[in-house]
Amino acid sequence: MSHHPAFRAIGGAVKELARDTVTTSAELIKITVPVVIVTKILEELGLIVYISMALEPVMNLMGLPGALGLVWATGIMTTLYAAVGVYAVLAPGLELTGGQVTVLCSVMLIAHSLPVEMSITKRAGAGLLPVGAIRLLGALFYGVILYHLCSTFGIWQEPARIFFQADTGEETLTAWATTQLFNLGLIVVIIFCILVAMRLMKVVGLLALLEWLLKPVLPLFGMSHRAAPLTVVGMIVGIAYGGALIIRETTTGGMDSREKFNSLALMSLSHGLVEDTLLMLAIGGKLAGIFWGRLLFSLLVIFILVRVIDHFSRSRTTAA
């Protein structure tokens, strides 16, 4: 029975899933554990208060407590998973609403891992300053819009569901370490669930459907039919893969500089539409805000940006 092809296929899929979970979790732990330890040290030294105060003006624009600025700053400089590790430490002590968690998740989805991802977009042909400005200002602008929509119309004002454990109140390192181990274990479970969900989506054709929906509209955003499929892949899978495809296409001379910039700018605002979205859903973000709203916002920003650049290019040509 165990030699039946179906059982072998299932066994192979389970082994691959387990291997991917272990690999991804190992990478997560290498990044997250030092970040969580540094956060604890900052907390013990009383520096979290000062960091929160420094970040409070920006976070308040989006209706968020200053302490969450440390979560976003961690995500900007490292990874979303490291940011989730800091969120696991801080969130249980904050009284957050579903709307606030959604705003935080949304800005992290737009602006995270900037040192790594911007180096990729630079290699692919987009300048550091324009892409950095698009991501940081885009995240802030979308966060402000989403906050005002939520507060004005009373959307997602219920208390957020925080799945992570708070500190027990005991001032022992053992108690703190136990709590963090639980939270890390929970993140590993989340990773496993995300990997399962992505495989199921691929099997039932949801990823192909998303690609089919996006591909026809991208020419409206300054991309040819040749560039659109590469952009869609980057939006769904992530900047690392999408950027690599564009770098490869560039070597063949298949894309001009304007088209590359438009593609990379859109990818910068909306990428990892499956994995990253699932991660933010797992910590309490609402799908309408972190997926549909972000996607529509990204398309609108690039639509306007393309036309503004075209207008100035025509004006410069006419003047010359």
Partners of 159 in the β-ladder: 97
Are 290 and 277 in contact by the 8 Å Cβ rule? The answer is: yes
At residue 105, the pLDDT reads 98
Residue 252, pLDDT score: 64
Question: Which of 34-48, 134-148, 236-250 bottoms out in mean pLDDT, i.e. has the lowest?
Answer: 236-250
- Diameter of the chain measured on Cα atoms: 78
On the question of pLDDT at 225 being above 80, the answer is no
Mean pLDDT of 252-281: 86
Is the pLDDT at 232 greater than 60? The verdict is yes
Strand ranges (DSSP E) for 6-68?
Answer: none
For range 234-252, the mean pLDDT:
72
Concatenate the DSSP letters of all residues of 286-303 into one string: -HIIIIIIHHHHHHHHHH
**Cβ contacts of 118 within 8 Å, gap of 6 or more:** 128, 131, 132, 135
pLDDT at 254 over 70: no
pLDDT average, residue stretch 153-179: 79
pTM above 0.75, yes or no: yes
The three-state secondary structure class of 12 is helix
Decide: helix, strand or coil at residue 249: helix
Question: In this model, does residue 170 exceed pLDDT 60?
Answer: no
Per the model's pLDDT, the better-predicted residue between 198 and 45 turns out to be 45
> Which pLDDT does position 3 carry in this prediction?
58
β-bridge mates for residue 97, sequence order: 159
Q: In whole angstroms, how far apart are CA 208 and each of 16, 29, 90, 204, 287?
A: 22, 32, 38, 9, 19
Question: At residue 287, does pLDDT exceed 80?
Answer: yes
- Find, among 21, 36, 18, the residue nearest to 165 by Cα: 36
Q: Encode 262-296: b = buried (16+ Cβ within 10 Å), e = exposed.
A: bbbbbbbbbbbbbbbbbbbbbbbbbeebbbebbbe
* Model confidence at 245: pLDDT above 80: no
pLDDT at position 302 is 94
Residue 1 in this model has a pLDDT that exceeds 70? no
What integer pLDDT is reported at residue 166 of this predicted model?
61
Q: Which of 231, 262, 188, 168 is nearest to 32 (CA)?
A: 188
Both structure tokens of 193:
């669930």
> DSSP H helical segments within 111-256, as ranges?
114-124, 128-153, 173-204, 206-214, 227-237, 239-251
Q: 38 or 139: whose pLDDT is higher?
A: 139
Q: Specify the pLDDT at position 147.
A: 98
Work out the average pLDDT over 261-282: 91
Q: What pLDDT is stored for residue 59 in this prediction?
A: 96
| Residue that the structure tokens 């910068």 belong to | 268
Q: Compute the mean pLDDT over every residue in the chain, rounded to the nearest whole number.
A: 84
Q: What is the pLDDT of residues 18-63, one digit of tens each?
A: 887 888 777 667 767 887 788 778 878 888 778 778 889 999 999 9
Residue 153 confidence (pLDDT) above 70? yes
Q: What is the pLDDT of residue 319?
A: 65
- Give the amino acid at 212: W
